[in-house]
Structure 1
Amino acid sequence: MTGKVFPRLETERLVLREVKEEDAGSVFHYLSDPEVMKYYGMVPMVEVREAIEEIDWYRRIFDEGTGIRWGITLKGTDEVIGSCGFLEYSSRHARTEVGLELSKDYWRSGLMTEALAAVIQYGFTHLDLMRMQALIEPENIASQKLFEKLGFLQEGLLRKYERTNGLFDDVYMYALLKDEYVVER
């Protein structure tokens, strides 16, 4: 992406930072929760080893320049309570996908809106992106509302687009273009 130093982002209540192996316990806490994983595209984790593998993937996509995934922490604490970031980044096409999840202990607190807004701003200002997109299952109303609140538009339904646990899922394609982006919402 832009160099090999992992960027640290701060908002009013949050610090978004690199997730390290020592965060595996907290990552496992929310990625083993069936409610958090309902629309994640994976089954809930059953072993901390799986969280370590997920953290290794975060590092790999950053090192390869194909994505960046920030751990979400509350200011004044260092516990990772979720993650947010880019995957399938293409500098050639100036686009990326956005993915996220948050421990249900913090749902409906506005924290994910705050984290996602910081990530969006970083993408448009530091990565010179033209397009950010998100794939959201039709039943995931909370994520649809979150992305719409931040200016994303639903572009259409991609039928049987992803295979999850042996089943094919439909997803909505949401996107935000740089020239549609408004900093303060």
Structure 2
Amino acid sequence: MSKSPFEQFPHITSDEITLRKITDSDLDSIFEIYSNEKLFQHSPVMHTNNKNTVANKIGHFERDFCKKKCIFLGISLNSEPNKVVGIAEIFDYSSEVNMITIGYRLNDRFWGKGIATEAVKLITDYIFDNLEINRIQAFVMPGNIKSQEVLKRNGFIKEGVIRQGHVWKGHGVVDLILYSLLKSDHKK
């Protein structure tokens, strides 16, 4: 039987990175991510150049957790624990199907270092081992090759393309590739 992902806020650590709660003191790091248009080319979320908007988002992260909608985790390097280099999301929990959806974005200054791959590994281990959820899925725009590679390196299976099936802000109606990982696939 799965546990609700909203019973306890996750704090997940490996040798290299930590996934943790985002706080007001992370505003500058989070603003650096949300104000970088490049990071939102393949995203349903819009970038913003307004620091107050980003400060409000940080408040909404807490609210969304309390409302059992979404968990936003800051990705920090253990060498610089007070700086957030990326954001991981856990959302759309379905207790009936026993599944959840993940997403992530990383400050482009940290691309190519294996951080996103490690973050997804930590999330999947946490979801399967601590929450006992059976299915994790992720939606990726076809042009987002880097994100697809992150998922493949973590054992996710490409299920197919959902053609013109979703509306993403700033993009209109889009094609999305659906990737999934089942608990039975995990750690094979």
CA change 1:130–1:153 in 2 (3 A) is same
Report the Cα offset of residue 161 of structure 1: 2.3
Aligned to 2:35: 32
Q: Which amino acid aligns with 2:61?
A: Y
1:173 aligns with 2:178: yes
Q: TM-score, normalised by structure 1?
A: 0.92
Aligned to 2:79: 76
Corresponding residue SS for 2:102: strand
Aligned to 1:43: 46
Identity, in percent, stands at 26
Q: Could you list the per-position Cα deviations for residues 103-131 of structure 1 after superposition, in whole angstroms to 9, with x for gaps in the alignment? A: 00100000111111001000001111110
RMSD of the alignment, in Å?
1.6
- Which of 131, 148, 173 aligns to 1:127? It is 131
Q: Could you list the per-position Cα deviations for residues 127-170 of structure 1 after superposition, in whole angstroms to 9, with x for gaps in the alignment? A: 11110000000000111111011011111111222222262111
Q: Which sits farther off after the overlay, 45-54 or 7-16? A: 45-54
Q: TM-score, normalised by structure 2?
A: 0.90
Structure number with greater CO (CA < 8 Å, separation at least 6) is 2
Rounded to whole Å, the distance in 1 between the matches of 2:12 and 2:171 is: 37
- Which of 150, 153, 176 aligns to 2:154? It is 150
Q: Which sits farther off after the overlay, 7-16 or 164-173? A: 164-173
Structure 2: tracts of 5 or more residues without a match: none
Q: Which amino acid aligns with 2:39?
A: V
Rounded to whole Å, the distance in 1 between the matches of 2:78 and 2:27 is: 19
Structure 1: tracts of 5 or more residues without a match: none
1:18 aligns with 2:6: no
Q: Is the 8 A contact 1:136 1:143 kept in 2?
A: yes
CA change 1:28–1:92 in 2 (3 A) is same
Rounded to whole Å, the distance in 2 between the matches of 1:166 and 1:20 is: 30
1:106 aligns with 2:98: no
Q: Could you list the per-position Cα deviations for residues 10-34 of structure 1 after superposition, in whole angstroms to 9, with x for gaps in the alignment? A: 1111111100122122101011111
1:8 aligns with 2:11: yes
Q: Is the 8 A contact 2:6 2:68 kept in 1?
A: no
Question: Deviation above 3 Å: which 4+ runs of structure 1?
Answer: 1-5
Report the Cα offset of residue 43 of structure 1: 2.6
